[in-house]
Amino acid sequence: MKLKIKKVDPEAKAPSYAHPGDAGLDLYALEAVKIEPGVIGQVRSGVAMEIPDGYVGLCWDKSGLSHKFGLKVLGGVIDAGFRGELVLSLINLGRATYTFAKHDKVMQLLIQPVASVEVEETDTISDTSRGHGGWGSTGK
């Protein structure tokens, strides 16, 4: 499969895999951005893409950034019909300001197939052994 990308800014760095066989493409910062603790920040990527019909782009944390600095991805669904610049949203749950330099890795993008469903309204749904259990109902 090919993923067409368009640089909406000539300084943008194209998404890329760090290693052969990696699941996620790294997405990069177009410019330096500081994200203060407790603040939601946006990082421009400078790229737009054409995700093929029947697929979705799912944005996920870079494990090192989330584990070491508390940076978490927000709003990580990119629909196949979207053609705008990817603006990457994160929240800094850490205790220190984090600064992305130009072309730093920000998050990773997985391209995955999507199953479309037909929604049918009903008065009943089947029961299961779990039933209504949620919010930790299975224990520690």
Whichever domain contains 54, its CATH number is 2.70.40.10
- Split into its structural domains, the chain has a count of 1
Q: What is the pLDDT of residues 37-88, one digit of tens each?
A: 999 999 999 999 999 999 999 999 999 999 999 999 998 999 999 999 999 9
Is 103 inside a domain boundary?
A: yes
Is 53 inside a domain boundary?
A: yes
* Residue 23 DSSP class: S
Is 118 inside a domain boundary?
A: no
d(CA 37, CA 96): 6
> Which domain does 22 fall in, by range?
4-113
d(CA 92, CA 69): 8
Is 128 inside a domain boundary?
A: no
The mean pLDDT value of the chain amounts to 95
Q: What is the pLDDT of residues 59-72, one digit of tens each?
A: 999 999 999 999 99
Is 76 inside a domain boundary?
A: yes
What pTM, to 2 d.p., does this model score?
Answer: 0.90
pLDDT exceeds cutoff 90 at 35: yes
Neighbours of 91 (CB within 10 A): 16
